[in-house]
Amino acid sequence: MTATLIALISITIGIIAANIFAKLNTKYQFGFTGNTIAGVFGSIFFIKAFSRLGFDPFSILKTGTVNYMLLLINLLVSAFGAILFVLLLKKISIKMNGGK
């Protein structure tokens, strides 16, 4: 497994998490495309922002094998970031539409 593959898996988890969250909470729905975009950007932003804590793709592969605990943390942060980004976009959307 390479660092690029881990990054792509993290982004995919973010996309899936954003779409599932929006499907379960219909008031946060932006359509499939909107939720996918929110998932990608939220996932990337959170992984980049918090990767200095040691769960970036290069740290996961540092020993030459996959550190599954760091990989799990990476995937959870990716999903959490995607969900938070959907929530943030909804808040921005409400503000731009005059509180409706």
Is 99 within the bounds of a domain? no
Q: Tell me if 98 is assigned to some domain.
A: no
Give 2-32 pLDDT, tens digit per residue: 888 989 999 999 999 999 999 999 888 889 9
| Banded model confidence at residue 97, pLDDT cuts 50, 70, 90 | confident
Token couple for 61: 């592969």
Distant-in-sequence, close-in-space partners of 69: CB < 8 Å, separation ≥ 6 = none
Task: Look at residue 20 and tell me if it is in a domain.
Answer: yes
Residue 85 predicted with pLDDT over 70: yes
Instruction: Count how many domains the chain has.
Output: 1
52 inside domain: yes
Distances, alpha carbon 64 to alpha carbons 1, 2, 5, 56, 59, in Å: 10, 10, 15, 14, 10
Q: Answer whether residue 95 is part of any domain.
A: no
Q: What is the pLDDT of residues 40-64, one digit of tens each?
A: 999 999 988 888 888 888 888 888 8
